[in-house]
Amino acid sequence: MGKIVYSPIGIIRSPFKTVEGAPIQPVGARGARGAIELRREFLAGLKDLDGFSHIILIYHFNLSEGYALEVKPFLDDRLRGVFATRAPKRPNPIGISVVKLIGIEGIFLHIEDVDIVDGTPLLDIKPYVPQFDSIETELIGWLSGRVQAVEQFKADERFK
C-alpha cells in the first residue's frame, strides 16, 4: 500500500500554545474560542457552511513524535491499545474534533469549544450532521465511568 500525501488547507488558532494544559476533548473546552485561517485558494469551498452550527475538523497532530501501539490515556493509568483511545500519538496522527461554528469572515472561521493546540495544520472541514454523526450507544469499553472526568482534565506532557 502506497503513501498518501495531503497538504494542509489551513491553520487552527487557539488559546492553547502548548500540549500541556490543553483540554483533551471539546467537551473539556467549553467556551474556548479559536479560529481557522483557511488558505485563500480554498475560500469558495466555504459556501453554505455558515448554515451549520457545528463542524467537524480533521487535523494533523503535528506535535506528536512517533507512536506506541499501547498507551496510557489521560483518563486511565493502564495501558490501552492506541486504536481504543483518542491519544494523539497514533500510526497516522490524525485528530478529529467537533466544534461550534460562530461565524465566517472571509478566510477566517470563528469557532468555539476548541480543544486543539494553536498552529495545528487543518486537513478538512465537514458539516456536523446529527442524523449521520450522532449514534446512540452505551458500550464505551474502558471509558465507562471515566468520560465525565474529561471536562476537568487537561493534557500533560505525556503525548509530546
Alpha-carbon distance 82 to 104, whole Å? Answer: 35
In sequence order, the 6+-apart residues with CB closer than 8 A to the CB of 46 are 38, 104, 109
Amino acid making up residue 148: Q
Q: Does 149 bind a copy of itself (CB under 8 A)?
A: no
Q: Does 52 bind a copy of itself (CB under 8 A)?
A: yes
Amino acid making up residue 119: G
CB nearer a copy of itself, residue 26 or residue 34: 26
Show contacts with a copy of itself in window 107-136 (CB under 8 A): 121, 123-136
106: left (phi over 0), alpha (psi -120 to 50) or beta: left
Show contacts with a copy of itself in window 80-99 (CB under 8 A): 80-86, 90-92, 94, 96, 98
Stretch that binds a copy of itself, among 14-22, 37-45, 152-160 (CB under 8 A): 37-45
Q: Does 105 bind a copy of itself (CB under 8 A)?
A: no
Q: What three-state secondary structure class fits 133?
A: helix
CB nearer a copy of itself, residue 16 or residue 59: 59
Q: Does 65 bind a copy of itself (CB under 8 A)?
A: no
Q: Are 105 and 94 in contact (CB under 8 A)?
A: no
Q: Does 152 bind a copy of itself (CB under 8 A)?
A: no
CB nearer a copy of itself, residue 5 or residue 157: 5
Q: Does 102 bind a copy of itself (CB under 8 A)?
A: no
Q: What three-state secondary structure class fits 31?
A: coil
Q: DSSP letters of 64-126?
A: --S--SEE--TT-SS-EEGGGS--S--SS-EEEEEEEEEEEETTEEEEES--S-TTEEEEEEE
CB nearer a copy of itself, residue 145 or residue 157: 145
Minimum distance of a copy of itself from residue 160's CB (angstroms)? 18
Q: Does 69 bind a copy of itself (CB under 8 A)?
A: yes
